[in-house]
Amino acid sequence: MVFVFLLGIEGDDEKETMNYEDDTLHRVVITGLGTVSPCGHDVPTSWNNIVSGRSGVAPITLFPTDDLNVKIAAEVKEWDPMRYMEAKDARRRDQCVRFAVVAAREGARQAGLTIDEWHAFDIGVFVGTAVGGLNSYYDVCSAHILHGARRVGTLAIPLMVGESASSHVALELGARGPNMARPQSIRTVMTNSCGFGGHHTVLILKRLE
């Protein structure tokens, strides 16, 4: 599940570049939204389902639950990455990265964001993730245990690390400014994951100010 906020600084549009040494506080505004969630693959669908009382929680379909007490989860349903990207790109991205890229596209469209060479270095990407490429981590570990190290692909690390989401979003949009990913440490995942998105939104606001 991914939520994207496109944030901008309110100011003089005629300014050619940002002055990062200026200590003046700037007014930060949300200019675009994007999401891939259990309630829908875009903002309008997700919002309509939420306000209509249609829950994103349903029986688990992504793995067997015969030995589990819990049989329900909030999965992203009917998701086909080929509808949003080429097969080659989908293979090189973990599921969490696919979600991030698609949501970022929607946010950029809604914001009317066009990144050209002149402003590319003024636009950055900041991603907060609880775990990162967990599906790829499982696949890599399974391949290593069952078939040995030679079966571990060369893209294993880029697929697993949480930083891949911010990197792929930046490449997709052409943003060449600050690029940061803040994966949650394993020891704090259980306590802070639910508030992670809000926490990182505040960090970004502080940085823009």
Distances (CA, A) of 139 to 3, 134, 177: 25, 9, 32
Structure tokens at 121: 């270095």
Nearest CA to 128 out of 87, 182, 81 is that of 182
- Listing DSSP states for 133-194 in one string gives -HHHHHHHHHHHHHH-GGGS-TTHHHHHSTHHHHHHHHHHHT--S-EEEEEPPGGGHHHHGG
Query: Which pLDDT value is given to residue 14?
Result: 43
Percentage of the chain beyond pLDDT 90 is 42
Q: How confident is the model at residue 77, as a pLDDT?
A: 93
Q: Which residues contact 127 (CB under 8 A, 6 or more apart)?
A: 100, 162, 163, 165, 166, 169, 180, 181, 182, 200
Say if residue 120 is exposed, middle or buried (CB neighbours under 10 Å; 0-12, 13-18, 19+): middle
- Over residues 68-84, the pLDDT tens digits come to 999 999 999 999 999 99
- Greater confidence (6 vs 120) lies with 120
pLDDT digit string, tens, across residues 3-52 = 666 655 555 444 444 454 555 666 777 889 999 999 999 999 999 999 99
- From start to end of 37-79, where are the E strands? 58-59, 72-73
Tokens 């989401």 belong to residue:
165
pLDDT of 188 strictly over 60 = no
This prediction has a pTM of 0.79
Report whether 4 contacts 104 (CB < 8 A).
yes
Q: Which CATH architecture has domain 2-208?
A: 3-Layer(aba) Sandwich (3.40)
Residues 1 and 103: beta-carbon distance below 8 Å: no
Instruction: Calculate mean pLDDT across residues 155-177.
Output: 88
Q: How far apart are CA 37 and CA 76, in angstroms?
A: 6
